[in-house]
Amino acid sequence: MRGLATMAVEAATGEGQGAAARALRRVLSVRWVLYVAGPITMLGAWQYASDAFATKQLFPGPSETFRAFARLVASKQLALDTLASLRRIGLGFAIGSISGFLVGLTAGYVPLVRHLLYPYIHFLRFISAIAWLSMALLWFGTGETGKVALITYTTTFVVMVNVMAGVASIPVNRLRSARCFGATEWQIFAQVVLPSTLGYFFDGARLAMANSFATVVTAEMLAAQSGLGYLILVSRQWLAVDEIFVGIIVLGILGWLTDRVLVSLTDNRFRRHRLRS
Amino acid sequence: MVWDGSIVFDKVSYRFEKDSPWIIKDLDLAIAEGGFFVLIGPSGCGKTTALNLLAGFDKPTQGHIHVRGESVVRPGIDRVVVFQGEDSLYPWLSAQDNIGFGLRFVRLPADERRARVRDCIEMVGLAGHEHKYPDQLSGGMKQRVQLARALACQSPILLMDEPFGAVDAQTRSILQDQLARICQESRRTIFFITHDITEAVLLADSVGVMRAGPASGLKAVIPISIPRPRHRWTREFGQMYDQLHELLAEEALKALVNVR
């Protein structure tokens, strides 16, 4: 009876001949099995680590976390906080994407604009949104505007830089052939430059979404009365680590979901726009 | 300089910047209306530069280019370009829409536009593939889309920059024959660049041989009077080939020595 490890290796590398190796290969070839295998293993490891940890309250296991989750759902607290965060992200992301796209297109295509904006773009994009948080509080108060402004800021820069790279990578012959056909510069902008950069725009949007989540959580921890960041903050103050875990996991799932939505809306439809033909 | 030609280069010189070396210097050329002119020359001698100047993508540093008596200042639909390689196609448009793209900026009734696109698809042999996207087409098919797109514009002058260079030898041979046939049926002025002497002898009314760069100009203009349709490797074909080859080989050798 050969060792289990040898069989597993053979199955994974496709070389084992025995019935067990073939069965294992067939199971592993179903993709979702691999997707799920990781988290299931992690759950097991989590439970084990939490049991082994000295102070139970500081490292709750999956079951305690799930109980906290049920509590928060029942009290409607989780729903309220999630919606608050999503509202801020949604608004900031929408405004930021559009403005980033427009500015990126213009700066990418019109040298005059690019040169004028150059110092702002390459200086500001290293200053994270959170660095501006105090300014945002002073200028906008503690309401929603400040947080939405920060998310707009970070989204604009990420999208802008991506779109500018997209414009720079348009093959020059694409523009030249449009000029041959008598297109005005406006027509070239709308019918050649814009479609060519859509793929880059969506890549930038996906990246910006991740930044938006990070920004909103930090902003909520520092200066808000609602939202998932606020929930995590309050839970820490009460040493309710199980609720912190709930907040973190919900954040991750939300981020994954919004990314999936973005990808499904755009990847197939706009895949061709990114090609060099 | 004679001014009755359809295309006239009058002492045209070009360099990128002040103090950079001249790419072409004092190029004089006259191409009659309806002629098929092929420009051959060693690598780096400025053939593409000459085409870009004629197309209006760049301005000559010195000299003038006249098309039917008027100075060339900008690209225009009277001088449509077929580029080397595939990066001038629009990947988000189907072959049919790519071919029709050239007609988007011209005032044309919709059914006439559709008819022209249909005709061009048939002319280049792409019937059945018109709904495919460029990433689904082979290299030869993509070049045919470019050719159809240029033909759809019905421009009096066609500029072609090594259009069959990136395509395999068999497809190239087929495309050359198709182009020869299309040109016989419609008398346009064609300005065609190639490295391939066989292609030149097959297609051209006259062949211009450029000198090796920098600061190159025309070494000679050789008329090809073999009657059409031409067949590769008849005796006259071979004689013209040899004549051009001798001229070109001298320059190609010089270009090798001049390698920057």
Each residue's pLDDT tens digit, B124-151: 889 999 999 999 999 889 999 999 999 9
Write down the pLDDT at residue A1. Answer: 53
In chain B, what residues touch A187 (CB-CB under 8 Å)?
A: 104-105
Q: What is the pLDDT of residues B193-206, one digit of tens each?
A: 998 899 999 999 99
> A126: pLDDT confidence band, cut at 50, 70 and 90?
confident
Q: Are A258 and A90 in contact (CB under 8 A)?
A: no
CB contact under 8 A, A180 and B102: yes
CB atoms within 10 A of CB A267: 13
State ipTM: 0.88
* CATH T-level topology, domain A57-273: MetI-like fold (1.10.3720)
**Which residue type sits at B25?**
K
Q: For residue range A156-192, what is the model confidence (pLDDT) as tens digits?
A: 999 999 999 999 999 999 999 999 999 999 999 999 9
Give the pLDDT of residue B3: 46
pLDDT of A10 > 70? The answer is no
Mean of pLDDT values over A54-74: 85
Above pLDDT 70, what percent of chain B? 97
Q: Which chain B residue shows the shortest CA-CA distance from A268?
A: B92
- From chain B residues 196-255, the ones with a CB under 8 A of any chain A CB are none
Q: Regarding predicted confidence, which is higher, A18 or A147? A: A147
Q: Does A192 touch chain B (CB under 8 A)?
A: yes
Band the pLDDT of B42: cuts 50, 70, 90. Answer: confident
Which pLDDT belongs to residue B162?
A: 92
With cut-offs at 50, 70 and 90, classify the pLDDT of residue A16: low
Burial class (CB in 10 A: 0-12, 13-18, 19+), B246: exposed
CB A182, CB B106: distance < 8 Å: yes
Cβ <8 Å between B153 and A173: no
Tell me the C-alpha to C-alpha distance, in Å, between residue B9 and each of B50, B120, B159, B163.
9, 31, 14, 22
- Chain A interface, best mutation among B92, B116, B145, B155, by max A CB count within 10 A: B92
Is the pLDDT score of A56 beyond 90? Answer: no
pLDDT in tens, A28-48: 677 888 888 888 898 888 888
Query: Looking at residue A267, what is its pLDDT?
Result: 76
In the numeric block, which tokens belong to residue B160? 């072609």
pLDDT-based confidence at residue A276 (cuts at 50, 70, 90): low
E strands, chain A, where?
Answer: none
Would the CB atoms of A181 and B91 count as touching at under 8 Å?
no
Candidates A208, A216, A225, A246; CA nearest to A86 is A216
Pairing state between β B7-14 and B62-67: antiparallel
Q: Residues of A with CB below 8 A from B89's CB?
A: 174, 277
| C-alpha–C-alpha distance, residues B257 and B260, integer Å | 9
Predicted confidence (pLDDT) at residue B2 exceeds the cutoff of 50: no
Q: Is A277 on the interface with B (CB under 8 A)?
A: yes
Among the residue ranges A109-123, A213-227, B174-188, the one predicted with the least confidence is: B174-188
- Hey, is the C-beta of B90 within 8 angstroms of any chain A C-beta? yes
> Which residues of A, range 158-187, sit inside 8 Å of B by Cβ?
171, 173-174, 176-184, 187
pLDDT band of residue B252 (cuts 50, 70, 90) is confident
CA-based R_g, chain B, Å? 18
Residue A12 predicted with pLDDT over 70: no
Stated pTM of the model = 0.81
What's the sign of the alpha-carbon dihedral A123, A125, A130, A134? positive
pLDDT at B29: 92
- Residue B145, chain A, CB below 8 Å: the answer is no
- Would the CB atoms of A179 and B57 count as touching at under 8 Å? yes
**Residue B5 pLDDT exceeds 60:** no
Residue A106, pLDDT > 50, answer yes
pLDDT at B57: 94
At A8, the pLDDT band (50, 70, 90 cuts) reads low
Residue A111 distance to chain B (closest CA, Å): 18
What is the pLDDT, as a whole number, of residue B1? 41
Residue B145, min C-alpha distance to chain A (Å)? 12
Interchain contact, A180 vs B76, CB within 8 Å: yes
Segment B161-170 shows an average pLDDT of 88
